[in-house]
């Protein structure tokens, strides 16, 4: 079973345990919007799809809370470009 993405509101980030440490997606919440600020995956784990797994898991948690996202992080923006079916989650006015 693969690790699950965990939301840590006190730390304002989503986390995914990787073989080399934590992958994180930092965010800032404002009302019903979540600004996705920065994604970081341990260097030894890059290129293995863990960043994508982190973003996808985070978006599933955001969707459960019925929030909209403001994708500021370039990695998140690139991921969304490859997954246009998730575009409904993007806030119309950042």
Structural domain spans, the chain: 6-89
Element (H, E) at 59: helix 50-64
Is residue 32 within 8 A of residue 65, CB to CB? The reply is no
Question: What fold does the segment set 6-89 form as a domain?
Answer: Aminopeptidase (3.40.630)
- For tokens 């909209």, name the residue: 68
User: What are the backbone angles phi and psi of residue 21, rounded to the nearest 5°?
Assistant: 140, -150
- Provide the residue-wise pLDDT of the chain in tens; the chain has 94 residues: 467 999 999 999 999 999 999 999 999 999 999 999 999 999 999 999 999 999 999 999 999 999 999 999 999 999 999 999 999 999 987 6
């Amino acid at each position: 079973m693969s690790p699950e993405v965990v939301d840590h509101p006190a730390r304002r980030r989503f986390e995914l345990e990787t073989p080399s440490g934590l992958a994180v997606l930092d965010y800032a919440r404002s009302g019903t919007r979540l600004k996705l600020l920065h994604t970081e995956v341990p260097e030894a784990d890059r290129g293995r799809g863990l960043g994508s797994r982190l973003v996808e898991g985070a978006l599933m948690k955001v969707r459960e809370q019925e929030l909209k996202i403001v994708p500021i992080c370039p990695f998140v923006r690139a991921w969304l470009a490859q997954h246009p079916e998730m575009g409904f989650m993007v806030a119309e006015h950042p």
